[in-house]
Amino acid sequence: MASTSPANPKHTALAIGSRKVDLLLAHYTANHTHPSNERIHLVSTPLNLFSVVGVLYALYPWLAVVFIVLSLLYYARLSFEFCVAMAITLLAMLVLAGILGALGVLWVLWVLSVSAFAGAWLLQDYGHQIEGKKPSAMEDLQYFWVGHLFVLSKLFFKWGIRW
């Protein structure tokens, strides 16, 4: 079965029996069709994820690790390719947080992360006002994690990577 791609609206129609990852992405994509909202989410969604990793690391580094492990378990249930890409992404975020921690500036990481979180959510709220649709994560919390797959799906589609 060919993978559908939310990167192209023509590919969002799904046949019954599609994989869960395809159904989740199709639903998420349906709430992110306006070009401006899509561009906003391509920037703010990864920023939002880094802010969560950063805040957790600043509080207790093991919290960030637990969050990452649990996130990767979720992604592994959806798609091997997405899980690998998210593992690389999350590891890079953890390393960046660790570098700031090793420099002894955890308070800077905390302030930057909280500010990034607020800024990313404000941007996303603005995007959804443009779109005229509520954020998917308000319907179901799992769309917080699906949003990152939405960003990756755009890259995967562009690079010809199937998931």
C-alpha triplet 160, 161, 163: angle, nearest 5°: 135
Return the pLDDT at 163: 84
Return the pLDDT at 135: 83
Which tokens in the block code for residue 118?
A: 């607020």
- Full-model pTM: 0.83
Give the pLDDT of the chain (163 residues) as one tens digit per residue: 444 444 444 344 444 448 999 999 999 998 899 999 999 999 999 999 999 999 999 999 999 999 999 999 999 999 999 999 999 999 999 999 999 888 877 888 899 899 999 999 999 999 999 988 888 888 888 999 999 999 999 999 999 988 8
Return the pLDDT at 12: 42
Return the pLDDT at 1: 40
* 3-13 exposure pattern, b = at least 16 Cβ within 10 A, e = fewer: bbbbbeeebbe
DSSP letter for 13, please. -
Which long-range CB contacts under 8 A does 39-44 form with residues at least 24 apart? 40/123, 40/124, 40/126, 40/127, 40/130, 41/124, 41/127, 41/147, 41/150, 41/151, 42/151, 42/154, 43/123, 44/119, 44/120, 44/121, 44/123, 44/124, 44/127
